[in-house]
Structure 1
Protein backbone atom coordinates (compact mmCIF):
# COMPACT_ATOMS: atom_id res chain seq x y z
CA UNK A 1 0.00 0.00 0.00
CA UNK A 2 1.34 3.43 -0.96
CA UNK A 3 2.09 5.97 1.81
CA UNK A 4 -0.54 8.36 0.45
CA UNK A 5 -3.18 5.63 0.64
CA UNK A 6 -2.21 4.79 4.22
CA UNK A 7 -2.35 8.46 5.21
CA UNK A 8 -5.75 8.86 3.58
CA UNK A 9 -7.08 5.86 5.53
CA UNK A 10 -5.61 7.12 8.82
CA UNK A 11 -7.12 10.58 8.37
CA UNK A 12 -10.52 9.03 7.66
CA UNK A 13 -10.29 6.94 10.83
CA UNK A 14 -9.26 10.05 12.78
CA UNK A 15 -12.28 11.99 11.52
CA UNK A 16 -14.59 9.08 12.31
CA UNK A 17 -13.28 8.66 15.85
CA UNK A 18 -13.58 12.42 16.45
CA UNK A 19 -17.22 12.19 15.34
CA UNK A 20 -17.79 9.31 17.79
CA UNK A 21 -16.32 11.40 20.61
CA UNK A 22 -18.66 14.27 19.78
CA UNK A 23 -21.70 11.97 20.10
CA UNK A 24 -21.06 10.84 23.68
CA UNK A 25 -24.07 11.64 25.88
CA UNK A 26 -23.50 13.42 29.17
CA UNK A 27 -25.81 12.64 32.10
CA UNK A 28 -25.59 13.22 35.82
CA UNK A 29 -24.33 9.68 36.37
CA UNK A 30 -21.99 9.06 33.47
CA UNK A 31 -20.67 9.95 30.05
CA UNK A 32 -21.86 7.24 27.68
CA UNK A 33 -21.20 6.02 24.17
CA UNK A 34 -24.08 4.68 22.08
CA UNK A 35 -24.17 0.97 21.34
CA UNK A 36 -23.74 1.59 17.63
CA UNK A 37 -20.72 3.83 18.18
CA UNK A 38 -19.28 1.37 20.69
CA UNK A 39 -19.37 -1.42 18.08
CA UNK A 40 -17.92 0.86 15.41
CA UNK A 41 -15.10 2.11 17.64
CA UNK A 42 -14.12 -1.47 18.42
CA UNK A 43 -14.05 -2.23 14.68
CA UNK A 44 -11.99 0.89 13.99
CA UNK A 45 -9.36 -0.13 16.56
CA UNK A 46 -9.15 -3.59 14.99
CA UNK A 47 -8.90 -2.16 11.47
CA UNK A 48 -6.29 0.36 12.59
CA UNK A 49 -4.06 -2.27 14.16
CA UNK A 50 -4.35 -4.41 11.02
CA UNK A 51 -3.49 -1.44 8.80
CA UNK A 52 -0.43 -0.48 10.84
CA UNK A 53 0.74 -4.06 11.30
CA UNK A 54 0.40 -4.98 7.63
CA UNK A 55 1.59 -1.80 5.94
CA UNK A 56 3.61 0.48 8.25
CA UNK A 57 7.02 -0.85 9.31
CA UNK A 58 8.05 -0.28 12.92
CA UNK A 59 4.51 0.29 14.19
CA UNK A 60 4.61 -2.05 17.19
CA UNK A 61 4.77 0.76 19.76
CA UNK A 62 1.86 2.67 18.22
CA UNK A 63 -0.22 -0.49 17.91
CA UNK A 64 0.40 -1.35 21.54
CA UNK A 65 -0.50 2.20 22.59
CA UNK A 66 -3.79 2.25 20.67
CA UNK A 67 -4.83 -1.21 21.84
CA UNK A 68 -3.94 -0.44 25.45
CA UNK A 69 -6.11 2.68 25.32
CA UNK A 70 -8.98 0.56 24.02
CA UNK A 71 -8.52 -2.20 26.60
CA UNK A 72 -8.35 0.27 29.47
CA UNK A 73 -11.49 1.98 28.20
CA UNK A 74 -13.68 -1.13 28.14
CA UNK A 75 -12.60 -2.43 31.54
CA UNK A 76 -15.69 -1.06 33.26
CA UNK A 77 -19.08 -2.20 34.52
CA UNK A 78 -20.77 -1.41 31.21
CA UNK A 79 -18.11 -3.10 29.04
CA UNK A 80 -18.22 -0.09 26.71
CA UNK A 81 -15.54 2.32 25.55
CA UNK A 82 -14.96 5.27 27.84
CA UNK A 83 -14.79 8.91 26.75
CA UNK A 84 -11.16 9.06 27.91
CA UNK A 85 -10.13 6.00 25.87
CA UNK A 86 -11.64 7.40 22.67
CA UNK A 87 -9.92 10.71 23.32
CA UNK A 88 -6.59 8.94 23.89
CA UNK A 89 -6.88 7.12 20.56
CA UNK A 90 -7.59 10.46 18.88
CA UNK A 91 -4.40 11.76 20.47
CA UNK A 92 -2.35 8.82 19.24
CA UNK A 93 -3.36 8.93 15.57
CA UNK A 94 -1.72 12.28 14.68
CA UNK A 95 1.59 10.90 15.98
CA UNK A 96 1.31 8.00 13.54
CA UNK A 97 0.37 10.33 10.70
CA UNK A 98 3.27 12.69 11.48
CA UNK A 99 5.73 9.79 11.58
CA UNK A 100 4.72 8.70 8.08
CA UNK A 101 4.81 12.26 6.71
CA UNK A 102 8.28 12.89 8.14
CA UNK A 103 9.76 9.60 6.89
CA UNK A 104 9.16 9.30 3.14
CA UNK A 105 11.54 6.34 2.97
CA UNK A 106 9.72 4.43 5.69
CA UNK A 107 7.96 2.17 3.21
CA UNK A 108 11.01 1.43 1.06
CA UNK A 109 11.59 -1.96 2.70
CA UNK A 110 7.93 -2.85 3.03
CA UNK A 111 6.88 -5.81 0.89
CA UNK A 112 3.66 -6.86 2.60
CA UNK A 113 2.74 -8.06 6.07
CA UNK A 114 5.49 -7.56 8.60
CA UNK A 115 6.93 -10.78 9.97
CA UNK A 116 7.33 -11.38 13.66
CA UNK A 117 10.65 -10.16 14.99
CA UNK A 118 13.32 -12.58 16.16
CA UNK A 119 12.45 -11.78 19.79
CA UNK A 120 8.77 -12.53 19.12
CA UNK A 121 9.66 -15.83 17.49
CA UNK A 122 11.73 -16.79 20.52
CA UNK A 123 8.82 -15.96 22.82
CA UNK A 124 6.44 -17.98 20.65
CA UNK A 125 8.81 -20.94 20.84
CA UNK A 126 8.95 -20.54 24.62
CA UNK A 127 5.15 -20.49 24.82
CA UNK A 128 5.04 -23.69 22.80
CA UNK A 129 7.46 -25.37 25.21
CA UNK A 130 5.35 -24.30 28.20
CA UNK A 131 2.23 -25.86 26.68
CA UNK A 132 3.97 -29.08 25.69
CA UNK A 133 5.69 -29.49 29.08
CA UNK A 134 2.71 -28.46 31.21
CA UNK A 135 1.66 -32.00 32.11
CA UNK A 136 5.23 -33.04 32.99
CA UNK A 137 5.48 -30.08 35.37
CA UNK A 138 2.07 -30.88 36.91
CA UNK A 139 3.13 -34.48 37.52
CA UNK A 140 6.47 -33.43 39.02
CA UNK A 141 4.72 -31.10 41.46
CA UNK A 142 2.95 -34.07 43.02
CA UNK A 143 6.25 -35.54 44.17
CA UNK A 144 7.60 -33.61 47.16
CA UNK A 145 9.79 -34.47 50.12
CA UNK A 146 8.02 -35.70 53.24
CA UNK A 147 4.66 -35.59 51.48
CA UNK A 148 4.51 -31.82 51.72
CA UNK A 149 1.50 -30.00 50.32
CA UNK A 150 1.58 -29.33 46.59
CA UNK A 151 -0.62 -28.13 43.75
CA UNK A 152 -3.02 -30.72 42.40
CA UNK A 153 -4.66 -29.81 39.11
CA UNK A 154 -8.32 -30.39 39.91
CA UNK A 155 -10.09 -27.73 37.86
CA UNK A 156 -9.63 -24.89 35.40
CA UNK A 157 -8.53 -22.46 38.13
CA UNK A 158 -5.63 -24.77 38.98
CA UNK A 159 -4.70 -24.94 35.30
CA UNK A 160 -4.73 -21.14 35.13
CA UNK A 161 -2.60 -20.77 38.26
CA UNK A 162 0.10 -23.14 37.05
CA UNK A 163 0.01 -21.68 33.53
CA UNK A 164 0.42 -18.18 34.97
CA UNK A 165 3.46 -19.27 36.99
CA UNK A 166 5.07 -20.95 33.96
CA UNK A 167 4.45 -17.92 31.73
CA UNK A 168 6.47 -15.85 34.21
CA UNK A 169 9.58 -17.70 33.05
CA UNK A 170 9.55 -15.87 29.72
CA UNK A 171 6.97 -13.07 29.75
CA UNK A 172 7.16 -9.82 31.72
CA UNK A 173 3.76 -8.51 30.66
CA UNK A 174 0.98 -11.02 31.44
CA UNK A 175 -2.54 -9.68 31.71
CA UNK A 176 -5.02 -12.05 33.34
CA UNK A 177 -8.73 -11.86 32.59
CA UNK A 178 -8.59 -9.28 29.83
CA UNK A 179 -12.00 -8.08 28.64
CA UNK A 180 -13.27 -9.67 25.41
CA UNK A 181 -15.85 -7.86 23.25
CA UNK A 182 -19.36 -9.26 23.49
CA UNK A 183 -20.38 -12.03 21.12
CA UNK A 184 -23.91 -13.33 20.59
CA UNK A 185 -25.19 -11.02 23.30
CA UNK A 186 -22.70 -12.09 25.96
CA UNK A 187 -19.27 -10.91 27.04
CA UNK A 188 -16.48 -12.89 28.60
CA UNK A 189 -12.91 -12.60 29.79
CA UNK A 190 -9.85 -14.24 28.40
CA UNK A 191 -7.51 -16.14 30.66
CA UNK A 192 -4.30 -14.37 29.60
CA UNK A 193 -3.26 -11.71 27.13
CA UNK A 194 0.44 -11.56 26.14
CA UNK A 195 0.85 -8.14 24.48
CA UNK A 196 4.49 -8.82 23.52
CA UNK A 197 3.33 -11.38 20.96
CA UNK A 198 -0.30 -10.26 20.46
CA UNK A 199 -1.47 -13.61 21.78
CA UNK A 200 -4.42 -14.67 23.91
CA UNK A 201 -4.27 -17.93 25.87
CA UNK A 202 -7.49 -19.73 26.71
CA UNK A 203 -7.21 -22.65 29.14
CA UNK A 204 -9.69 -25.43 29.86
CA UNK A 205 -9.70 -28.66 31.81
CA UNK A 206 -11.75 -31.68 30.87
CA UNK A 207 -14.16 -33.14 33.42
CA UNK A 208 -17.11 -35.47 33.63
CA UNK A 209 -19.84 -34.20 31.31
CA UNK A 210 -17.45 -32.12 29.22
CA UNK A 211 -17.13 -34.36 26.17
CA UNK A 212 -15.29 -33.86 22.90
CA UNK A 213 -18.37 -32.42 21.16
CA UNK A 214 -18.90 -29.82 23.90
CA UNK A 215 -15.23 -28.86 23.93
CA UNK A 216 -15.26 -28.40 20.15
CA UNK A 217 -18.36 -26.21 20.35
CA UNK A 218 -16.85 -24.10 23.15
CA UNK A 219 -13.64 -23.59 21.22
CA UNK A 220 -15.54 -22.48 18.11
CA UNK A 221 -17.37 -19.86 20.20
CA UNK A 222 -14.08 -18.80 21.82
CA UNK A 223 -12.46 -18.29 18.41
CA UNK A 224 -15.40 -16.16 17.24
CA UNK A 225 -15.07 -14.00 20.36
CA UNK A 226 -11.33 -13.55 20.34
CA UNK A 227 -11.06 -12.64 16.67
CA UNK A 228 -12.90 -9.42 17.65
CA UNK A 229 -10.23 -8.53 20.23
CA UNK A 230 -8.06 -5.71 18.84
CA UNK A 231 -4.77 -7.18 20.07
CA UNK A 232 -5.44 -10.84 19.37
CA UNK A 233 -3.48 -11.89 16.31
CA UNK A 234 -3.07 -15.37 17.72
CA UNK A 235 -5.22 -17.56 19.95
CA UNK A 236 -3.69 -20.48 21.83
CA UNK A 237 -6.34 -22.81 23.25
CA UNK A 238 -4.88 -25.23 25.78
CA UNK A 239 -7.20 -28.04 26.88
CA UNK A 240 -5.69 -30.01 29.76
CA UNK A 241 -6.93 -33.61 29.58
CA UNK A 242 -4.94 -35.69 32.10
CA UNK A 243 -7.62 -38.40 32.30
CA UNK A 244 -7.81 -38.85 28.53
CA UNK A 245 -11.51 -37.96 28.33
CA UNK A 246 -11.26 -36.69 24.73
CA UNK A 247 -11.28 -39.73 22.47
CA UNK A 248 -9.88 -38.08 19.33
CA UNK A 249 -7.88 -35.00 20.41
CA UNK A 250 -5.82 -34.89 17.22
CA UNK A 251 -9.00 -34.71 15.13
CA UNK A 252 -10.32 -31.69 17.03
CA UNK A 253 -6.91 -30.00 16.85
CA UNK A 254 -6.65 -30.61 13.10
CA UNK A 255 -10.15 -29.34 12.37
CA UNK A 256 -9.72 -26.10 14.32
CA UNK A 257 -6.08 -25.39 13.51
CA UNK A 258 -6.67 -25.70 9.77
CA UNK A 259 -9.73 -23.45 9.64
CA UNK A 260 -9.76 -19.94 8.16
CA UNK A 261 -10.60 -17.98 11.31
CA UNK A 262 -9.13 -14.57 10.52
CA UNK A 263 -6.56 -15.05 13.29
CA UNK A 264 -3.89 -17.67 13.91
CA UNK A 265 -5.49 -20.43 16.01
CA UNK A 266 -3.48 -23.13 17.76
CA UNK A 267 -5.43 -25.73 19.73
CA UNK A 268 -3.59 -28.14 22.01
CA UNK A 269 -5.37 -31.00 23.81
CA UNK A 270 -2.78 -32.57 26.10
CA UNK A 271 -1.50 -34.98 27.22
CA UNK A 272 -2.22 -37.43 24.45
CA UNK A 273 -3.06 -40.99 25.47
CA UNK A 274 -0.25 -43.38 24.52
CA UNK A 275 -0.78 -46.63 22.68
Structure 2
Protein backbone atom coordinates (compact mmCIF):
# COMPACT_ATOMS: atom_id res chain seq x y z
CA UNK A 1 0.00 0.00 0.00
CA UNK A 2 2.99 2.28 0.58
CA UNK A 3 3.01 5.17 -1.86
CA UNK A 4 -0.13 4.28 -3.79
CA UNK A 5 -2.18 7.27 -2.63
CA UNK A 6 0.57 9.76 -3.36
CA UNK A 7 1.04 8.07 -6.73
CA UNK A 8 -2.67 8.36 -7.42
CA UNK A 9 -2.76 12.00 -6.31
CA UNK A 10 0.23 12.94 -8.48
CA UNK A 11 -1.15 11.18 -11.56
CA UNK A 12 -4.70 12.49 -11.23
CA UNK A 13 -3.38 16.03 -10.78
CA UNK A 14 -1.75 15.90 -14.21
CA UNK A 15 -4.65 14.44 -16.19
CA UNK A 16 -6.39 16.77 -18.61
CA UNK A 17 -8.56 14.59 -20.85
CA UNK A 18 -11.74 12.66 -20.14
CA UNK A 19 -10.36 9.38 -21.53
CA UNK A 20 -7.14 9.51 -19.50
CA UNK A 21 -9.09 10.32 -16.36
CA UNK A 22 -11.48 7.40 -16.79
CA UNK A 23 -8.65 4.99 -17.64
CA UNK A 24 -6.45 5.97 -14.67
CA UNK A 25 -9.32 5.79 -12.20
CA UNK A 26 -10.22 2.33 -13.45
CA UNK A 27 -6.61 1.17 -13.05
CA UNK A 28 -6.31 2.49 -9.49
CA UNK A 29 -9.69 1.15 -8.40
CA UNK A 30 -8.53 -2.30 -9.51
CA UNK A 31 -5.18 -1.86 -7.76
CA UNK A 32 -6.81 -0.78 -4.50
CA UNK A 33 -9.11 -3.80 -4.57
CA UNK A 34 -6.15 -6.09 -5.20
CA UNK A 35 -4.41 -4.63 -2.16
CA UNK A 36 -7.37 -5.44 0.04
CA UNK A 37 -8.93 -1.96 0.20
CA UNK A 38 -12.37 -2.38 -1.41
CA UNK A 39 -13.99 0.39 0.66
CA UNK A 40 -11.43 2.95 -0.48
CA UNK A 41 -11.69 1.68 -4.04
CA UNK A 42 -15.46 2.16 -3.89
CA UNK A 43 -15.07 5.71 -2.52
CA UNK A 44 -12.57 6.63 -5.22
CA UNK A 45 -14.84 5.16 -7.88
CA UNK A 46 -17.85 7.09 -6.56
CA UNK A 47 -16.02 10.42 -6.34
CA UNK A 48 -14.62 10.01 -9.84
CA UNK A 49 -18.05 9.79 -11.48
CA UNK A 50 -19.05 12.68 -13.71
CA UNK A 51 -21.87 13.60 -16.09
CA UNK A 52 -21.30 12.76 -19.73
CA UNK A 53 -23.15 15.17 -21.99
CA UNK A 54 -23.29 13.52 -25.40
CA UNK A 55 -24.19 16.84 -26.99
CA UNK A 56 -21.35 18.85 -25.48
CA UNK A 57 -17.73 17.78 -25.04
CA UNK A 58 -17.09 21.03 -23.19
CA UNK A 59 -19.81 20.30 -20.64
CA UNK A 60 -18.49 16.76 -20.17
CA UNK A 61 -14.97 18.10 -19.64
CA UNK A 62 -16.20 20.64 -17.06
CA UNK A 63 -18.02 17.87 -15.18
CA UNK A 64 -14.86 15.73 -15.25
CA UNK A 65 -12.77 18.60 -13.84
CA UNK A 66 -15.24 19.05 -10.97
CA UNK A 67 -14.98 15.33 -10.24
CA UNK A 68 -11.19 15.56 -10.40
CA UNK A 69 -11.16 18.42 -7.90
CA UNK A 70 -13.41 16.55 -5.47
CA UNK A 71 -11.27 13.43 -5.73
CA UNK A 72 -8.02 15.31 -5.15
CA UNK A 73 -9.50 17.06 -2.12
CA UNK A 74 -10.58 13.70 -0.71
CA UNK A 75 -7.11 12.20 -1.12
CA UNK A 76 -5.37 15.32 0.18
CA UNK A 77 -7.51 15.98 3.23
CA UNK A 78 -8.86 12.64 4.37
CA UNK A 79 -6.53 9.80 3.43
CA UNK A 80 -3.80 8.54 5.79
CA UNK A 81 -2.23 5.21 4.84
CA UNK A 82 0.65 4.01 7.00
CA UNK A 83 3.55 6.18 6.05
CA UNK A 84 1.62 8.19 3.50
CA UNK A 85 0.33 11.63 4.46
CA UNK A 86 -0.29 14.37 1.93
CA UNK A 87 2.67 16.76 2.14
CA UNK A 88 0.65 19.87 2.92
CA UNK A 89 -0.90 17.98 5.83
CA UNK A 90 2.47 16.52 6.80
CA UNK A 91 4.12 19.89 7.25
CA UNK A 92 1.16 21.07 9.35
CA UNK A 93 1.53 18.04 11.62
CA UNK A 94 5.27 18.57 12.01
CA UNK A 95 4.76 22.23 12.87
CA UNK A 96 2.11 21.30 15.44
CA UNK A 97 4.44 18.78 17.10
CA UNK A 98 7.27 21.27 17.22
CA UNK A 99 5.14 24.15 18.46
CA UNK A 100 4.03 22.01 21.40
CA UNK A 101 7.33 20.26 22.07
CA UNK A 102 7.73 22.21 25.32
CA UNK A 103 4.45 20.71 26.55
CA UNK A 104 5.78 17.23 25.84
CA UNK A 105 8.96 17.99 27.80
CA UNK A 106 6.99 19.45 30.67
CA UNK A 107 4.70 16.42 30.82
CA UNK A 108 7.61 14.00 30.47
CA UNK A 109 10.00 15.16 33.16
CA UNK A 110 8.79 18.35 34.79
CA UNK A 111 5.29 17.41 35.94
CA UNK A 112 4.75 15.14 38.90
CA UNK A 113 5.26 11.45 38.15
CA UNK A 114 2.54 8.91 38.94
CA UNK A 115 3.24 7.17 42.22
CA UNK A 116 2.83 3.73 40.67
CA UNK A 117 5.53 4.26 38.07
CA UNK A 118 8.64 2.14 38.50
CA UNK A 119 11.50 3.45 40.60
CA UNK A 120 13.68 3.56 37.48
CA UNK A 121 11.31 5.94 35.72
CA UNK A 122 10.72 8.12 38.78
CA UNK A 123 14.43 8.38 39.54
CA UNK A 124 15.64 9.00 35.99
CA UNK A 125 13.03 11.27 34.44
CA UNK A 126 13.66 13.95 37.03
CA UNK A 127 17.34 14.00 36.05
CA UNK A 128 16.71 14.92 32.41
CA UNK A 129 18.22 18.24 31.37
CA UNK A 130 18.51 19.56 27.83
CA UNK A 131 22.05 20.83 27.26
CA UNK A 132 22.54 20.71 23.48
CA UNK A 133 20.82 20.05 20.15
CA UNK A 134 21.55 16.34 20.42
CA UNK A 135 19.46 16.21 23.59
CA UNK A 136 16.64 18.00 21.76
CA UNK A 137 17.01 15.56 18.87
CA UNK A 138 16.87 12.54 21.17
CA UNK A 139 13.58 13.71 22.69
CA UNK A 140 11.93 15.01 19.53
CA UNK A 141 12.80 12.17 17.16
CA UNK A 142 10.46 9.58 18.74
CA UNK A 143 7.58 12.08 18.54
CA UNK A 144 8.17 12.65 14.85
CA UNK A 145 8.73 8.99 14.03
CA UNK A 146 5.52 7.94 15.79
CA UNK A 147 3.62 9.86 13.09
CA UNK A 148 6.08 9.46 10.20
CA UNK A 149 7.63 5.96 10.35
CA UNK A 150 10.12 6.79 7.60
CA UNK A 151 11.63 9.64 9.63
CA UNK A 152 15.32 9.14 10.26
CA UNK A 153 18.11 10.81 12.17
CA UNK A 154 20.84 12.97 10.71
CA UNK A 155 22.77 12.18 7.59
CA UNK A 156 25.84 13.85 6.16
CA UNK A 157 25.56 15.39 2.73
CA UNK A 158 28.23 17.02 0.62
CA UNK A 159 26.76 20.29 -0.59
CA UNK A 160 29.81 21.10 -2.73
CA UNK A 161 30.97 23.73 -0.25
CA UNK A 162 31.02 21.82 3.01
CA UNK A 163 29.41 18.85 4.69
CA UNK A 164 25.84 19.56 5.76
CA UNK A 165 24.41 17.60 8.69
CA UNK A 166 20.67 17.12 8.61
CA UNK A 167 19.04 16.44 11.98
CA UNK A 168 15.65 14.80 11.39
CA UNK A 169 14.66 13.96 7.83
CA UNK A 170 11.24 12.86 6.58
CA UNK A 171 11.85 11.77 3.02
CA UNK A 172 8.20 11.03 2.19
CA UNK A 173 7.32 14.63 3.08
CA UNK A 174 10.48 16.31 1.72
CA UNK A 175 10.95 17.85 5.18
CA UNK A 176 14.16 18.57 7.07
CA UNK A 177 13.93 19.53 10.74
CA UNK A 178 17.04 21.42 11.80
CA UNK A 179 17.54 21.50 15.56
CA UNK A 180 19.63 24.20 17.17
CA UNK A 181 20.58 24.89 20.76
CA UNK A 182 22.18 28.16 21.78
CA UNK A 183 25.59 28.12 23.50
CA UNK A 184 27.42 30.51 25.76
CA UNK A 185 29.84 31.22 22.89
CA UNK A 186 26.96 32.09 20.54
CA UNK A 187 25.22 35.39 19.97
CA UNK A 188 22.09 36.26 18.01
CA UNK A 189 24.04 37.28 14.95
CA UNK A 190 25.99 34.01 14.72
CA UNK A 191 22.78 32.03 15.22
CA UNK A 192 21.12 33.99 12.44
CA UNK A 193 24.09 33.32 10.18
CA UNK A 194 23.79 29.57 10.86
CA UNK A 195 20.10 29.62 9.97
CA UNK A 196 20.75 31.57 6.76
CA UNK A 197 23.55 29.17 5.75
CA UNK A 198 21.34 26.14 6.35
CA UNK A 199 18.57 27.61 4.21
CA UNK A 200 21.00 27.96 1.32
CA UNK A 201 22.48 24.48 1.58
CA UNK A 202 19.44 22.31 2.32
CA UNK A 203 17.54 21.18 -0.74
CA UNK A 204 14.33 20.04 0.96
CA UNK A 205 11.04 21.69 0.03
CA UNK A 206 10.22 22.33 3.70
CA UNK A 207 12.94 23.48 6.12
CA UNK A 208 11.79 23.62 9.73
CA UNK A 209 14.05 25.17 12.37
CA UNK A 210 13.56 24.36 16.02
CA UNK A 211 15.72 26.62 18.15
CA UNK A 212 16.14 25.70 21.81
CA UNK A 213 17.47 29.02 23.06
CA UNK A 214 18.64 27.96 26.51
CA UNK A 215 21.09 30.87 26.70
CA UNK A 216 18.43 33.43 25.67
CA UNK A 217 20.62 34.87 22.93
CA UNK A 218 17.54 35.86 20.91
CA UNK A 219 16.41 39.20 22.29
CA UNK A 220 13.13 39.38 20.41
CA UNK A 221 11.90 35.88 19.41
CA UNK A 222 8.90 37.32 17.55
CA UNK A 223 11.07 39.46 15.27
CA UNK A 224 13.66 36.70 14.79
CA UNK A 225 10.95 34.27 13.75
CA UNK A 226 9.29 36.82 11.49
CA UNK A 227 12.58 37.27 9.60
CA UNK A 228 12.33 33.72 8.25
CA UNK A 229 8.90 32.29 9.05
CA UNK A 230 6.76 31.49 6.03
CA UNK A 231 9.33 32.90 3.60
CA UNK A 232 9.93 31.23 0.25
CA UNK A 233 13.57 30.88 -0.84
CA UNK A 234 13.37 29.57 -4.37
CA UNK A 235 10.98 26.63 -3.99
CA UNK A 236 11.86 26.13 -0.30
CA UNK A 237 9.35 26.97 2.43
CA UNK A 238 10.89 28.09 5.74
CA UNK A 239 9.39 27.69 9.22
CA UNK A 240 10.88 28.62 12.60
CA UNK A 241 9.91 27.71 16.15
CA UNK A 242 11.80 29.14 19.15
CA UNK A 243 11.71 27.81 22.68
CA UNK A 244 13.35 29.65 25.53
CA UNK A 245 13.62 27.49 28.69
CA UNK A 246 11.56 29.89 30.78
CA UNK A 247 8.49 28.27 29.16
CA UNK A 248 9.30 24.92 30.78
TM range (shorter): 0.5 to 0.7
Could you list the runs of 4 or more consecutive aligned residues of structure 1 that deviate by over 6 angstroms after TM superposition? none
Q: Could you report, residue by residue, the CA deviation over 1:149-196 in whole angstroms, capped at 9, with x for unpaired residues?
A: 12321111100001101112311111211343415x212121111123
1:123 to 87, 90, 103: 90
Equivalence map 1:23-172=2 (5 Å): 58-59=9-10, 104-105=20-21, 117-118=76-77, 119-120=85-86, 121-143=88-110, 144=113, 147-150=122-125, 151-172=128-149
User: What is residue 42 of structure 2 aligned with on the other side?
Assistant: none
User: What is residue 67 of structure 1 aligned with on the other side?
Assistant: none
Q: Normalised by the size of structure 1, how large is the TM-score? A: 0.53
Question: Could you say what secondary structure the match of 2:124 adopts?
Answer: coil
Question: Could you say what secondary structure the match of 2:129 adopts?
Answer: coil
Answer whether contact 2:212 2:245 (CA < 8 A) is retained.
Answer: no
User: What is residue 241 of structure 1 aligned with on the other side?
Assistant: 213
User: What is residue 212 of structure 1 aligned with on the other side?
Assistant: 188
Distance 1:57 1:261, change over 3 A: farther
2:173 to 197, 201, 212: 197
Distance 1:243 1:210, change over 3 A: closer
Answer whether contact 1:181 1:225 (CA < 8 A) is retained.
Answer: no
Q: Could you report, residue by residue, the CA deviation over 1:75-112 in whole angstroms, capped at 9, with x for unpaired residues?
A: xxxxxxxxxxxxxxxxxxxxxxxx99xx8557x8599x
Q: How many residues align?
A: 175
Question: Could you say what secondary structure the match of 1:244 adopts?
Answer: coil
User: What is residue 55 of structure 2 aligned with on the other side?
Assistant: none
Answer whether contact 1:191 1:203 (CA < 8 A) is retained.
Answer: yes
Shift of 1:215: 1.0
Structure 1 unmatched ranges of 5 or more: 1-52, 61-98
Distance 1:258 1:130 in 2: 17
Do residues 176 (structure 1) and 176 (structure 2) align? no
Q: Which of the two has higher C-alpha Rg?
A: 2
Shift of 1:57: 7.5
RMSD: 3.6
Answer whether contact 1:123 1:170 (CA < 8 A) is retained.
Answer: no
User: What is residue 30 of structure 2 aligned with on the other side?
Assistant: none
Shift of 1:59: 3.7
Distance 2:225 2:233 in 1: 14
Answer whether contact 1:241 1:270 (CA < 8 A) is retained.
Answer: yes
Q: Normalised by the size of structure 2, how large is the TM-score? A: 0.58
Q: Could you report, residue by residue, the CA deviation over 1:228-259 in whole angstroms, capped at 9, with x for unpaired residues?
A: x3xx1111011012453311111121111254
Structure 2 unmatched ranges of 5 or more: 1-5, 25-63, 78-84
Do residues 267 (structure 1) and 240 (structure 2) align? yes
